[in-house]
C-alpha cells in the first residue's frame, strides 16, 4: 500500500478529488455569473461605471476568512440560508470559493473585454453584424484575457484555506475518505502535527495540479491564430 507518513492512497485521492471538485465547481459558477457581468459592464457606458469597476477590483482583495465568516453566518441554522442545511458540506465550500473567485474573474475578464479595440467592433458592425454578433466577436477577441481570468480564478479557488476551513469544517471520515478536507486544509493539519515532509508532499501535489490546469488553459488559449502580433 502506498503511504507517505500518515498518508495513504485513499486519503490522498479523496482530498485531491474534493479540492478539484470544489474549485472547479466554484470557477464554473463564477464564470456563469461573472462573464455576463463583464460583458454587460464592458459594453455599456453608464453613470457610475467607474464606481462599479472599483467595487469589483476591491473584491479581489476580500480577506478569505471574512468571506468564510459571512458565509458561515448565512448558512448557520438561524441565518438567511439556514434552511438549505449546507453548512459543513462541499457545497458550502463552493459557495465561499465562488464569492472569492468571482471578483477576480470579473475584474480580469472585464479588462480583457474593454481592451478589444473599438475598431474591431466597428468592423464587425460594418460587415453586417448585429449587436449579438459584435458581442460574440468581442468574446472571441478577448479569449486570451478571458482564459487568463478563468485561470486566475482557479488559482484563487484551489489555493484557498481560510474560508473552506470555516464553512467546510475539514471533515474526514473514519475510513480516511475526505468529505470536506482539501489539499490546502490537509497541509495545515499536517503542519500543526509537525509532519513537515508530508505537508511538503501535499504542497507538491497541489502545485502539480495548478500547473496542470494552467498548462491546459494555456494550450487552449494559444491554440487559435491571430496572436502573432499585429503587423510585421
Integer angstrom CA distances of residue 159 from 72, 107, 132, 182, 190: 19, 19, 36, 10, 16
Is 148 a residue that touches other proteins (CB under 8 A)?
A: no
We find the least distance from the C-beta atom of residue 118 to other proteins, in angstroms, to be 9
We find the least distance from the C-beta atom of residue 168 to other proteins, in angstroms, to be 39
Please count the residues of this chain forming the interface with other proteins, following the rule CB under 8 A. Answer: 25
Q: Would you say 8 or 224 has its CB closer to other proteins? A: 224
Residue from 80, 130, 200, 219 that binds other proteins (CB under 8 A)? 130
Q: Binders of other proteins among 110-129, rule CB under 8 A?
A: 117, 119-120, 122-129
Is 79 a residue that touches other proteins (CB under 8 A)?
A: no
Q: Would you say 78 or 228 has its CB closer to other proteins? A: 228
Q: Residue holding cell 471520515?
A: 173
Do 73 and 92 touch, CB atoms closer than 8 A?
no
Is 147 a residue that touches other proteins (CB under 8 A)?
A: no
Q: Would you say 194 or 231 has its CB closer to other proteins? A: 231
Integer angstrom CA distances of residue 10 from 1, 22, 59, 153: 10, 18, 37, 28
Of the candidates 169, 149, 164, 189, the residue with the CA atom closest to the CA atom of residue 60: 149
Pairing of strands 7-8, 3-4: antiparallel
We find the least distance from the C-beta atom of residue 114 to other proteins, in angstroms, to be 16
Question: 3 - beta bridge partners?
Answer: 8
Q: Would you say 117 or 212 has its CB closer to other proteins? A: 117
Is 160 a residue that touches other proteins (CB under 8 A)?
A: no
Of the candidates 206, 172, 211, the residue with the CA atom closest to the CA atom of residue 189: 172
Q: Which residues are near other proteins by CB under 8 A?
A: 117, 119-120, 122-130, 133, 137, 140-141, 224-232
Amino acid at each position: 500500500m502506498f503511504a507517505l507518513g500518515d498518508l495513504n492512497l485513499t486519503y490522498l485521492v479523496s482530498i485531491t478529488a474534493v479540492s478539484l471538485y470544489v474549485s472547479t465547481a466554484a470557477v464554473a459558477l463564477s464564470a456563469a455569473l461573472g462573464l455576463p457581468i463583464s460583458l454587460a459592464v464592458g459594453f455599456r457606458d453608464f453613470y457610475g461605471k467607474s464606481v462599479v469597476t472599483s467595487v469589483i477590483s476591491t473584491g479581489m482583495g476580500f480577506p478569505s476568512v471574512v468571506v468564510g465568516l459571512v458565509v458561515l453566518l448565512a448558512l448557520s441554522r438561524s441565518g438567511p440560508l439556514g434552511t438549505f442545511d449546507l453548512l459543513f458540506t462541499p457545497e458550502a465550500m463552493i459557495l465561499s470559493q465562488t464569492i472569492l473567485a468571482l471578483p477576480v474573474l470579473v475584474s480580469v475578464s472585464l479588462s480583457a473585454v474593454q481592451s478589444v479595440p473599438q475598431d474591431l467592433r466597428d468592423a464587425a458592425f460594418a460587415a453586417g453584424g448585429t449587436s449579438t454578433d459584435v458581442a460574440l466577436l468581442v468574446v472571441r477577441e478577448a479569449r486570451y484575457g478571458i482564459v487568463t481570468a478563468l485561470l486566475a480564478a482557479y488559482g484563487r479557488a484551489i489555493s484557498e484555506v481560510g474560508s473552506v476551513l470555516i464553512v467546510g469544517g475539514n471533515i474526514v471520515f473514519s475510513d480516511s475518505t475526505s468529505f470536506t478536507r482539501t489539499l490546502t486544509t490537509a497541509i495545515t493539519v499536517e503542519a500543526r502535527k509537525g509532519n513537515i515532509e508530508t505537508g511538503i508532499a501535499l504542497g507538491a501535489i497541489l502545485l502539480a495540479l495548478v500547473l496542470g490546469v494552467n498548462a491546459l488553459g494555456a494550450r487552449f488559449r494559444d491554440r487559435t491564430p491571430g496572436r502573432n502580433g499585429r503587423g510585421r
